Every structure is written in structure tokens, then in C-alpha cells.
Amino acid sequence: MGAKDPFAARDVQSRRGGPVKAPLSRELIVATALELLKRDGIEGMGLRKVAAALDTGAASLYAYVDDSNALQALVLDRALGAVNHRAAKGGWRENVRSLLGSYVKVLAGTPGLGQLALRTIAVGPNALRIYESLLRSFQEGEMDRGRAAWAVDLVLLYCTAIAAEHGNGLNPGHPEGPLVPAIRSAREEDFPMIHASRDELLAGTGEERIRWCIDVMLNGVLTTARPTPSARDSALGARSPKQTKRAR
């Protein structure tokens, strides 16, 4: 038998034999919010809607979560628990490709989750485990610690953007998408470079393109020295590009 899901609501029976509400908890709130996200997207997991689904008032949720932003971070981290960390055959690069491929699949597979990942910073154990796995793989590839630290941000930001795009039903390379006919119909006299490269622009599967882009980033990181952090950055602590953008 598999381990019980700690986020699952308990089956509670009243003395009269009928079901009663499960005790309110952070785990129950997060699990409910994730189910609403899967069903209705980001807009479906507001605090009021989560409270309504739990048959309680929104004010009662604040005993367990600070606000909607905190709830979104908890939901994202819970979803990231599905990312596959199993070692892949083929060395450290294949481990990175496998982990990031699973990360994209998890985010793109739930409506709204990729968009949530773009605007929310998950700092729970599942998100940290992804950082840990990537840093370990980079170390196995003999990447110095400074480059590895920045590379984590680089590859995750790219993969998050891809997942957000595809999770929103947008696939630029899909034959029925808007990009393919636009490129195919570009006239040579107006767009000579696009016209000449139209087959190449549309070549390859989504998986092939993602793997290639990951390889490009890894090769670039391995051959590009990280600038020495300034005295100010050393004093404040390094910030990721995502954190820096949010701080502005």
C-alpha cells in the first residue's frame, strides 16, 4: 500500500453516522486550492473561492495562510512535488534534461500552473529540492559553484516560460497555431530572411527544441565566466534575476 497523502482530507464521521467537515488546516486549504486551480485556472483559487469550497468564511483561512500570495506559493510548491528527480542514464547533462523536462511537464500539465510559476516564487521543500538536484548535477559536470548558482535561475526561468506558454494552450509550432500560417505566408519581397528560413523556423518538435536550448545554455554557462559580484551585492546577498525583477 502506498503512503497516505498528507494533504488529503480525512474521512470523518459524526456520531449520527453522517459525514462532517474535515478540520480546517493549511494542508487542506492548499490541496483544495490546487484542485480549484486545475479546474478553473488561477482565477479559480482566490481565497474567497477556496473558502466557499471548504464551506467556511475567507477570514478563517488567515489563521493558516497570510494572504493570497502566500497561498499561491504553497500551491505551487505542492504541485512541484510531482517533478521526477530520478537519475537518468547518460551522465549529468541527461539528468538535467530529464529533471527540467519533468518540470515543464508538471507545470504545463495543469491549467494556470505555468502562469502561476512565472509570477510566484515557491520556496518550500519541493522547490528547494529542484534547486538541490540541479546544483548536484552541475557539480557532477565540474561546473564551478558561482556559475552553477546562476545557471539554476537561467534554466528554470526558460523552462517556466515555456511551460506557461504551452500551459495556456499556446504552441507556436503547432500546425493549427497562428505562427505557422504567418511564417508560411510571409512574402519574400517583404520578409526575405523569414521567407528563406521558413522551413528551419518551423522545424523540430517541442521536445527537441527544449533539449537543444538546454544544451545551448549549459554550453554557454560552462564557457562563460560569471562576473565578480560587487561589494554591494556581497553585502546584500545575491539575488536571482527573478527576485531582482520583483524587487523593482
The structural domains of the chain, ordered by start, are: 26-65 (1.10.10.60), 80-170+204-240 (1.10.357.10)
Average pLDDT over residues 136-158: 95
Q: So what's the pLDDT on residue 91?
A: 93
Strand partners, 19: 13
Q: What's 144's DSSP letter?
A: -
How many CA within 13 A on the CB side of residue 149? 11
Confidence class of residue 168 from pLDDT cuts 50, 70 and 90?
A: low
pLDDT of residue 131 exceeding 80: yes
Q: Cβ distance 129 to 74 under 8 Å? A: no
Termini Cα distance of the chain: 49
Q: So what's the pLDDT on residue 169?
A: 58
